[in-house]
Amino acid sequence: MKARTTFIGLMLFLSLICAIAIPAHAQTTSAQQTLQQYVAELQSNPNDTALRGKIIAMAQTMKPAPAIPEEARRHYVLGKTFFEGAKKPEDFNDAIAEFKSALLLAPWWPEANRDYALTLEAAEHFDEAAAYVKLYMATNPGDERLRAAQDELYKIEARQRLASKAREESAAQPAPAPPQDSFEALLKEIDGRRYVRKEGIANAPGTITFVIDVSGRFLVFGEILPSGHSYPAGYQENRRIEILGRETTDTDYSRPNPYIKEWVMSTTYIINEDGESITQRLRWNDGDTREKNFEWQR
């Protein structure tokens, strides 16, 4: 009789345990299914911050806490790696994409929300960064981390103000003048200048002065002879050459001379980039090239 009583008591105890365990298991299964449903809804509407908060709140009540999917961990590690290699705001785009993917799979994950917020802040997406700092705080990471997160919100506010101020100052600056053609600017700079070169006269006293005057878009070439030469002193032969570029070639500079074997076939005038000198490059009929330099006479 005593044994029968003990057996009945044992069966009643087991029944009680099952009665308690089955609802708890059913409750856990129901929570997981609801969480999965919420996550699916979020994946259809990733910008629903309110739904993210709802998922985080639900995950806080689940025992055990929902597991982090392996694919979410992969995206998270990729995001961290891209974040560490970024140098300027636009470099954070790859990290942003990976953290976003991780949080579509595990939106309740505290570290992913925190690191995504820091990445958005570095990329200067300040409003969105602040929203994810608040989502991180909703995961209840602990008093010390909550304090650091709140301080981070203040930093975001300050950086947002600085960025806004910089944009306002930039907008207030006058628009830069359109770039001026460098050659045209050089022509204006050297207009009116005289460039000279002196050369001794074979079998005659004194030197001859060759001059190039810049007049608008023309080079005016001439020579000034000393006294005692066959030409009168101060004689100058003017020849106008249109400036076609920083290098201008004059093919009519010289004609074949029946009394000499060599003559100049063309002359190229090269205006130095700083306007300090003009190089005269002579090409002779025998293929030889000679250069003579004219210096600015200040």
**pLDDT score of 255:** 54
**Bridge partners, 198 (sequence order):** 209
**Bridge partners, 290 (sequence order):** 282
Q: For residues 278 and 281, what is the distance between their CA atoms, to the nearest angstrom?
A: 10
Reply yes or no: is the peptide bond before residue 64 cis, omega within 30 of 0.
yes
**pLDDT score of 298:** 83
Summarised one tens digit per residue, pLDDT across range 267-295 is 889 999 888 999 988 887 777 888 999 99
**pLDDT score of 22:** 46
**pLDDT score of 273:** 87
**pLDDT score of 201:** 63
**pLDDT score of 21:** 47
**pLDDT score of 234:** 47
Mean pLDDT of 48-57: 95
**pLDDT score of 230:** 52
C-beta separation of 220 from 238 below 8 A: yes
Average pLDDT, the chain: 83
The percent of residues in the chain predicted with pLDDT above 70, rounded, is 78
pLDDT greater than 50 at residue 233: no
The percent of residues in the chain predicted with pLDDT above 90, rounded, is 50
Q: 191 or 261: whose pLDDT is higher? A: 191
Q: 176 or 102: whose pLDDT is higher? A: 102
**Bridge partners, 247 (sequence order):** 270
Summarised one tens digit per residue, pLDDT across range 136-174 is 999 999 999 999 999 999 999 999 999 999 888 888 887
| 40-44, 208-212, 250-254, 268-272, range with greatest mean pLDDT | 40-44
| All residues at 6 or more sequence positions from 216 whose CB lies less than 8 Å from its CB, including other chains | 191
Q: 283 or 132: whose pLDDT is higher? A: 132
pLDDT greater than 80 at residue 7: no
Q: 240: part of which helix (H) or strand (E)?
A: strand 239-242
Q: 69 or 223: whose pLDDT is higher? A: 69
Mapped onto helix, strand or coil, the DSSP state of residue 283 is strand
pLDDT greater than 60 at residue 20: no
- Do the bridges between strand 264-271 and strand 194-200 make them parallel or antiparallel, or are there none, so unpaired? unpaired
Q: For residues 2 and 171, what is the distance between their CA atoms, to the nearest angstrom?
A: 95
Residues in the chain: 298
pLDDT greater than 80 at residue 122: yes
Looking at this protein, which amino acid is placed at residue 130?
A
Confidence of residue 227 (pLDDT cuts 50, 70, 90): low
pTM: 0.53
